[in-house]
Amino acid sequence: MRRPSWRVEPSPAVGGEATARALAYVPDDGRFALYNDYAAGVSVLTLTAPSPDEGGPAALWRADTDRTRPHALAPATEVDGYGIFTFPYGPISMGVPEAGRFDVRTYGERVLNLVPVGGFKSRRIRETVVGRPVADAALLVERMAGNFSASHVAAFLEAAESASATEVPTAERWVRGLAQELQRIYNHVHVIARVAEAASQNVGLAQTHALAEEVLRVQGAFFGHRWLFGALLPGGPARRLDAADRHRLAERLGHLAEEFERLWLLFLESRTFIDRIQGTCPVSRAEAVGGGAVGPTLRASGVAWDDRLRIPVAPYNDLFVPLPHETGGDALARLIIRAEEVRASFLILEQMLDRWATASTGAEPAGSPVAPGRGIGRVEAPSGDLVYDVRVTAGKVDALQLRTPSRANWTVFAAGMRDAVFTDFHFAFESFGFVFAETDG
Amino acid sequence: MPSWIQQSASRGILTSRYPKDAAADEEVSPTGRPPLPVAGVASLPAARDSCPVGAISDTAVDQGKCIRCARCVAAGLTFTGPVEAATRSRDDLLRISSGPVPSPAAPPPLARLGRSLHLFLVDVGSCNACNLEVLALANPYYDVQRLGLFFTNSPRHADVLLVVGVPTPEMAEPLRRAYEALPGPKAVVAVGACPISGGAFAGAPGLVPGLAEIVPVDVFVPGCPPSPTAILDAILKLNGRDRAARGGP
C-alpha cells in the first residue's frame, strides 16, 4: 500500500519545513499555493496562499493580472545593445497553430530573451462556470483544452466530488483512467509527430500522424467522441465497454502498440533527427525544480515524479505504473520520456482491460454532488501535474481555480530558449506539449 | 534492419477515397454527425430542455449551436445526420433536422480558382480540438494534397481562411487584418460551433457571439469539433468539388 506523498494543508507552514520547500505556484487570486520538495518526495498544497512578501517568486505572483488581456507568461530579462530589437511572433502563425505570441529579443539570429505572451484566447471559463450545475460546468471544463479533455474533466470531477463528499464508484474511476491513458498516448504521439515535422522527417511524420489519427478513431469508436467530450459525464455518449468491446479494444491497442514500437525504433536510428533535438532547449534539474516545471519536462530533467504514482486512487493504486526518467533535460530527453510513457500507457491499458472484470463494473456514474464544500483534484495530464480547486454549493460551482501543466512549464521553456537560435524554436516549443487554450482558460 | 521505406510500404495505402466514395463509418465517430429527431420534428418540444446550449427549438435543431454532448439522445435524438453538414448560409443549419438542404443557386465562391486552394488556419479562441482536426487533414488518412489543397504559412499566400474558436476581443483585430491580407477572390470557413454561434461558450461575457460579426463567412461547418471529413467537405464546397456537386448520393 502506497502512502499519499502529497497533502493539503489549511495554511502555509511558517519556518522549519516550509523553508525547505520551493514555492511552485500561486494562482491569480491566491486561493491556494503549491510547494514542491522533490528531494523529500513531498508536494504540499496549502489552501491559503502566502502574501508576496512571505516569499512567493514575484513572477508567479500575479494577483493583478487580467488573464483576458495579453500578458507575459514568463519573466523577461533586460537585454539591450546595438541592433537589438523585439521580434513579435504571433498571435496568428501557422508555425504555432494556436493564438499566442512570443516576444523575442534578438539582433537577428540568436534568441537573447523570449517571453511567451498569453491571454489572446481566454474564453472566460473560470467566470462562466460560476453558478452552473457541476455537470453543465464540466461541459466547459472539458473544452479548457480539447486534447487534454479527459484529464481536465477527471481533475474537475474529482475536486467537485471531494468538495461534496460524494462517493465515486470504482468503476467510474477506471473509465476515467482508461480515457486519460488513451489521450496520453494520442498527445505524446502527436508531440513526436510535430517534432518530426519540424525536422522534416516526412515519412516519419506521415506514419506518426497516421498513428495519432488511429488513436482518435479508437477514442471515437469506444467513447463516442474523437476528443472524449462528454464521454466521462452522466448522460454522455454511450460507453460501450462490455466484454466483447474490451476484447476488441485490447486487440486494436495491441496493433497500435506494435506500430508505435516500430516507428520509435526507426526514429532512434535516424541520426539527422536525433542530432537536431539533442542539446536543444536544455533545462537543468535545478531550473526545472526552481521554475516549477511539471510532467515529462520535469522527468526529463532528472526528477522522477508522477501524480499517478503519488496519489493512491483507483485505478492507478492497483496497477503497475512505470516511471521513466531521464537526466538530459533537452528536447531529446523530453521526447524519450514521451515515447517511454506511450509504452507505459499501453501497458497500463493492457492491465486495465485484463483485470476489468474484477473492477466493479456496471455501476452507475455518480450524479451531481449537492453538499457545499471545497475540494482539490489532482491528476497527471499528458503534459504534467494538473490541479483543480473547486468550491461547490448546492450542486453548483461557486468558484473555480486551476493550475495547468502548460502554465507551469512556460518559465523553463523561456529560460531554455535563451541563447538558442531561431531554428531551434519549433523543436523546443513542440517538445514541451504546450496548449495556449488551457493557459488562458 | 528495417527502414522507413519498408515501414511505409508495409502499411499500404491508408488514404480515404472520400469524396469519390462516401466516408467510411470508422472515419466519423457517432458525434461526428448532426443529431436528428428520430420521431420527426413533432418530438422536438419534449427534447428541448435536455439541451444545455439551447440548440433545440420547437421546430428545428440549430446545428450551429449543437456541441454534440449527446444529452438529447435520451430525449429521442440520434447522431444520424449527414457527415457533409456544412452549409453556405447560417439559416440552412436549422434545416438539416428536417431533410436535405437545398443546394444554393449561387455558384461556389471560389469556383474561378479551379482545382487548387491554399488554406490558412486562424485560431481566434478555440479549445485546440478544432485546430488539431484541421491539421489532421494533412495526415495520410485524409491527405488533402491529393485534392489540390495546401496549407500555407502566410495569409498572403492563401485563398481560404479556416477560422476556429469563439472570437475573443483580443483576436478580432488580428483576424480582420489576416482577412485583409488574403488576395481576392477569397473565402472564410467557420469551423465548428464556436465561430458559428459561440458553441459551449455562448453567452460568456466579452466574447463575440459569431464570426460573421467580424468577417463575412462563406461556409459554416457545424460540430464540436467537426470531423476532418466534414471540414474537407466544407472546403470543397468553396470550389464546387464536394461530393454533392459531383453528383454523389
Mean pLDDT of A296-320: 88
- B43-82 confidence digits (pLDDT tens): 899 999 999 999 999 989 999 999 999 889 888 999 998 9
Which residues of B are less than 8 Å from A125 in CB distance? 201, 204
**Are B191 and B162 within 8 A, CB to CB?**
yes
Cα–Cα distances (Å) from B103 to A6, A306, B100, B106, in that order, read 60, 54, 9, 9
* Contact between chains at A139 and B26 (C-beta distance less than 8 A): no
The DSSP symbol for B87 reads: B
Mean pLDDT of A132-157: 94
Find the residue in A nearest to B205 (Cα).
A124
Q: In whole angstroms, give the CA distance from residue A426 to residue A416.
A: 13
Q: Which of B52, B67, B123 lies at the smallest CB-CB distance from A97?
A: B123
Sole residue written with cell 461547418: B221
Going by C-alpha positions, the residue among B43, B204, B205, B231 that lies closest to residue B131 is B231
At residue B225, the 3 state secondary structure works out as coil
Q: In whole angstroms, give the CA distance from residue B94 to residue B87.
A: 10
* Contact between chains at B74 and A235 (C-beta distance less than 8 A): yes
Which residues of B are less than 8 Å from A126 in CB distance? none
Q: Which of B3, B70, B125 lies at the smallest CB-CB distance from A230?
A: B70
CA–CA min distance B4, chain A (Å): 7
User: C-alpha grid cell for residue A310?
Assistant: 503519488
Cα–Cα distances (Å) from A367 to A97, A241, B75, in that order, read 37, 20, 18
Cα–Cα distances (Å) from B70 to A147, A175, A196, A239, in that order, read 19, 18, 36, 12
Find the residue in B nearest to A121 (Cα).
B125
* Contact between chains at B127 and A145 (C-beta distance less than 8 A): yes
Sole residue written with cell 468538495: A163
Q: In whole angstroms, give the CA distance from residue A155 to residue A111.
A: 37
* Contact between chains at B207 and A123 (C-beta distance less than 8 A): yes
Residues 6 or more apart whose CB falls under 8 angstroms from that of A51 comprise none
Least confident of A154-163, A332-341, B117-126, B187-196: A154-163
* Contact between chains at A121 and B171 (C-beta distance less than 8 A): yes
* Contact between chains at A92 and B52 (C-beta distance less than 8 A): no
**Residue B249 above 70 pLDDT?**
no
Categorize the per-residue pLDDT at A52 as very low, low, confident or very high, splitting at 50, 70 and 90: low
**Residue A426 above 60 pLDDT?**
yes
Q: Which of B4, B174, B178 lies at the smallest CB-CB distance from A266?
A: B4
Q: Which of B73, B129, B206 lies at the smallest CB-CB distance from A124?
A: B206
Residue A203 burial (CB count, 10 A): 16
* Contact between chains at A147 and B201 (C-beta distance less than 8 A): no
* Contact between chains at A125 and B26 (C-beta distance less than 8 A): no
Enclosing H/E stretch for B195: helix B193-197
Mean pLDDT of A416-420: 93
Going by C-alpha positions, the residue among A308, A300, A405, A310 that lies closest to residue A351 is A308
Give φ, ψ of B137 to 5 degrees.
Answer: -60, -20
* Contact between chains at B31 and A230 (C-beta distance less than 8 A): yes
Q: Which of A91, A136, A206 lies at the smallest CB-CB distance from B52?
A: A136
CA–CA min distance B70, chain A (Å): 5
User: C-alpha grid cell for residue B78?
Assistant: 440520434
Q: What is the dihedral of CA A95, A185, A290, A89, to 10 degrees?
A: 10
Buried b (16+ CB within 10 A) or exposed e, B159-192: bbbbbbbbbbebbbebbeebbebbeeebbbbbbb
Q: In whole angstroms, give the CA distance from residue A350 to residue A243.
A: 14
The mean pLDDT value of chain A amounts to 86
Tell me whether residue A31 is exposed, middle or buried, using C-beta atoms within 10 angstroms of its C-beta: 0 to 12, 13 to 18, 19 or more.
Answer: middle
Q: How many CA atoms lie within 13 A of B2 on its CB side?
A: 15
- B74-117 confidence digits (pLDDT tens): 889 999 989 999 999 999 998 877 666 667 778 899 998 988 99
Sole residue written with cell 488513451: A182
Mean pLDDT of A154-163: 91
**Residue A11 above 70 pLDDT?**
no
Least confident of A23-37, A82-96, A272-286, A381-395: A23-37
CA–CA min distance A48, chain B (Å): 28
- Provide DSSP, B123-175: ESS--SHHHHHHHHTTSTTT-GGGGTEEE-SSGGG-SEEEEESPPPHHHHHHH
Interface test with B, best of A96, A120, A263 (most B CBs within 10 A): A120
At residue B112, the 3 state secondary structure works out as helix
Report all structural domains of chain B as residue ranges with CATH numbers, in order of start.
Answer: 111-238 (3.40.50.12280)
* Contact between chains at B204 and A144 (C-beta distance less than 8 A): no
- A20-29 confidence digits (pLDDT tens): 567 788 777 7
